[in-house]
């Protein structure tokens, strides 16, 4: 073992922390396997923007008040400060000499990349830099956006939520999620939107909350997960945020679709979670009338068809639509050494978006344990 730096795990869209959802473990068996390094599960806004989630993540790690930034907050119309984690930090001694390993599932991928970016510009005045992050690992991560966002209401031309009832976007998503977790959503979790003055009250129903959301300015602009999940939103992130030369980068790509017999379009495999089948089918055949990201000249609809029910495999590999993000190549588990400053990616075949976390197929439970045990051991050896 070369280091004992803690691993911080960040959930994705509609995700939750260890004290929510009636104890359902978002990270599956990840926290149960033997690990040579400490591990902590974060709980950030399940529908918030990558920026706001990164600020919440930073506060939980450092043990500080959540600070979204004065200019950012004024621009987007919400409060600058939120929950205070002073004295409760996962890693209070966090610094360049005492860095962390970041692991993000789904939208947790863009969130942890945003965190490293904010550290690199010393966003909170902690004298931070990008080297506060030893490694960054995406698991089913949305590094280039998800075409599913357009099914859920985002504009193909702008990435913004279309006029009308914006809560439809998340109502449909929650319906899928509620079905997938078997009704556990009755233990409603906190949407962590206090800074938008959208607190959850125990007496409020889900309908009450969405009425509040509809009347707010949450969807007016780009400071929400709806925009950040689009190809346009991730193009902007990839343009601004760097791949840093001293950090190790890994991406585990999940997929559970196959090309058709007479068509290149992809269809869900038989073992896919039943509630991901409709979204997988949509993504497997999604075409665009025009390039949704003009700055990415090599756009082809068919590149985005293979998917895991929520994110295209193409999008999960590494940031590619914009910016300079060096790639070392395919394969992680078969390598014994790695170079920092380059992306390594590995395909986990016949694994859907939820198999890797809270809802693995029965035949994958043992495999999932081995996956996380191997991941933590690999990070400890960096």
pLDDT, tens digit, 9 for 90 and up, residues 277-328: 999 999 999 999 999 999 999 899 999 999 999 999 999 999 999 999 999 9
Residue 209 Cα distances to 151, 170, 212, 229, angstroms: 22, 12, 5, 22
Is 176 a residue whose pLDDT tops 80?
Answer: no
Residue 302 Cα distances to 163, 284, 286, 367, angstroms: 28, 8, 8, 30
Is 167 a residue whose pLDDT tops 70?
Answer: no
pLDDT, tens digit, 9 for 90 and up, residues 227-244: 999 999 999 999 999 999
The pLDDT assigned to 177 comes to 57
pLDDT, tens digit, 9 for 90 and up, residues 261-280: 888 899 999 999 998 999 99
Strand partners, 327: 343
To 10 degrees, the CA torsion angle through 39, 41, 44, 47? 120
Report angle CA 73, 292, 300 to the nearest 5 degrees: 140
Is 189 a residue whose pLDDT tops 70?
Answer: no
Is 210 a residue whose pLDDT tops 60?
Answer: yes
End-to-end alpha carbon distance in the chain? 8
Q: Indicate the domain borders of the chain.
A: 7-145+229-258+314-380, 150-215
Cα–Cα dist 367/111, whole Å: 26
State the pLDDT confidence band at 27, using cuts at 50, 70 and 90. very high
Lowest mean pLDDT among 16-25, 100-109, 325-334: 16-25
Q: How many CA atoms lie within 13 A of 196 on its CB side?
A: 23
Cα–Cα dist 284/275, whole Å: 15
Domain 7-145+229-258+314-380, what architecture? 3-Layer(aba) Sandwich (3.40)
Lowest mean pLDDT among 66-70, 74-78, 173-177, 222-226: 173-177
Instruction: Tell me the backbone φ, ψ of residue 174, rounded to 5 degrees.
Output: -70, -35
Enter the pTM of the model: 0.94
The pLDDT assigned to 213 comes to 76
Average pLDDT, the chain: 91
């Amino acid at each position: 073992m070369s280091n004992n730096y803690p691993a911080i795990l960040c959930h994705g869209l509609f995700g939750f922390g260890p004290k929510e959802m009636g104890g359902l473990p978002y990270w599956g068996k990840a926290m149960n396997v033997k690990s040579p390094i400490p591990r902590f599960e974060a709980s950030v806004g399940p529908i918030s923007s990558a920026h706001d989630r990164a600020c919440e993540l930073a506060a939980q790690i450092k043990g500080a008040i959540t600070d979204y930034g004065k200019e950012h907050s004024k621009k987007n119309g919400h409060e600058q400060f939120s929950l205070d984690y002073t004295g409760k930090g996962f890693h209070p001694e966090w610094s360049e000499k005492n860095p962390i390993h970041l692991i993000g599932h789904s939208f947790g991928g863009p969130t942890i990349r945003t965190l490293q970016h904010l550290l690199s510009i010393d966003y909170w005045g902690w004298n931070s830099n990008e080297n506060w992050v030893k490694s960054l690992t995406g698991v089913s991560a949305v590094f280039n956006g998800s075409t599913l966002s357009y099914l859920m209401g985002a504009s193909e031309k702008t990435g913004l939520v279309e006029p009308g009832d914006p809560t439809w976007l998340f109502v449909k998503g929650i319906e899928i999620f509620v079905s997938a977790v078997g009704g556990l959503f009755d233990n409603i979790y906190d949407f962590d939107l206090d800074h938008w003055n959208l607190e959850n009250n125990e007496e409020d129903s889900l309908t009450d909350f969405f009425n509040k959301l509809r009347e707010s300015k949450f969807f007016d602009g780009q400071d929400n997960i709806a925009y950040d999940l689009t190809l346009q939103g991730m193009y902007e992130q990839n343009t601004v945020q760097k791949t840093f030369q001293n950090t190790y980068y890994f991406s585990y790509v999940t997929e559970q679709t196959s090309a058709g017999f007479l068509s290149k379009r992809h269809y869900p495999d038989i073992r896919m979670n039943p509630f991901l089948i409709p979204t997988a089918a949509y993504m497997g055949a999604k075409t665009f009338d025009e390039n949704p990201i003009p700055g990415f000249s090599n756009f082809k609809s068919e590149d985005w068809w293979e998917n895991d029910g929520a994110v295209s495999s193409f999008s999960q590999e590494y940031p590619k639509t914009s910016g300079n993000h060096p790639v070392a190549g395919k394969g992680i588990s078969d390598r014994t050494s790695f170079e920092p400053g380059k992306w390594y990616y590995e395909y986990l075949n016949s694994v859907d978006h939820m198999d890797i976390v809270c809802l693995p197929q029965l035949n994958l439970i043992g495999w999932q344990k081995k996956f996380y045990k191997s991941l933590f051991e690999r990070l400890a050896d960096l």
